[in-house]
Amino acid sequence: MKSGFVNIFGKPNAGKSTLLNALLGEKLAIVSPKVQTTRHRIKGFLNKPGEYQVIFSDTPGIIEAKYKLHEKMMLAVKSALEDADIALLLVDINDDLEEADAIFSSLKLKVPVMLVLNKIDTGKKLEAAKAFFKDKPYAKNCIAISALKKQHTEVLIKTILDLLPEGDPFYPEDHLSDLPTKFFVAELIRERIYELFGDEIPYHTAVLVNEYKERGHLVKIQADIIVQRETQKGIILGERGKMIKEIGTAARKEIEAFIGEKVFLELFVKVKPKWRDNELQLREYGYQ
């Protein structure tokens, strides 16, 4: 039996969440073209009972912290650095490779490392990326993939299993994650906000699920969308409530697909000035 923590690190938008979903064959992490979509460490388990349990962790993109929220995000990265058995260093081959190298070199990892060159389906920069990383000390194990197209992800899993230590499972082998359903519900609502609004609004919002009640084959969910200013509340609501309805309809469909039950979803918008720098509010919204 093999078991261990395989944690994914990289710059914002390298494709970490897409890779996690591709490796698990399930959508656990929300995905958006916007940077800093992932705010938490999200663990997903790849199980083959009696043979292996791979505990993958998607982590926030590594950034310079400007708010307490960012500090919480970087603490999630730090915890993933501390318990990794294998580190996957993910880089978008179209990105600034010098910046990626500076981040990877600063991590000072003491566990087996795999450099994963992502987005090989998007252009012809693979050979240049391979040449750039060729002599980097963390690039001895290097594999090129497309997380979006699931190209070479099976090869990546096989290589991970070769490096994974022997040990008993850390979690029940029929579980997919250690996070509660309410967490994923909030994330799916937040994903719709990233999808429907421009650059500013998503970064000023949080989602708090207040109620999750199963009533027969119907799940009743009530959640608050938190914003910083009254003007943002107006944008989220939209004219005559058009936008909040659009968020709710799209999110409800995603939640129903995720939990396999019919959902009644009720959304409210609340203004909490400067919540991103408020320790108590951050804890309330799940940022420990």
Percent of the chain, pLDDT > 90?
88
Residue 261, both tokens = 């039950």
Distance of CA 142 to the CA centre of its chain: 22
Place of tokens 């058009």: 242
Q: Cite the residue boundaries of each domain of the chain with CATH code 3.40.50.300.
A: 2-163
* Third-level CATH fold of 2-163: Rossmann fold (3.40.50)
Q: Cite the residue boundaries of each domain of the chain with CATH code 3.30.300.20.
A: 181-284
Distance CA 77, CA 9 (A): 8
Pick 181-284's CATH classification: 3.30.1050.10, 3.30.300.20, 3.40.50.2300, 2.30.180.10. Answer: 3.30.300.20
Instruction: Name the phi and psi angles at 211, rounded to 5.
Output: -140, 135
- Residue 54's contacts (CB-CB under 8 Å, 6 or more residues apart) are 3, 4, 6, 23, 45, 46, 47, 157, 160, 161, 164
Per-residue pLDDT tens digits for 155-201: 999 999 999 999 999 999 999 999 999 999 999 999 999 999 988 89
- pLDDT tier at 57, thresholds 50, 70, 90: very high
- pLDDT tier at 90, thresholds 50, 70, 90: very high
Query: Which residue, among 98, 95, 57, has the nearest Cα to 78 in the 3D structure?
Result: 57
- pLDDT tier at 216, thresholds 50, 70, 90: confident
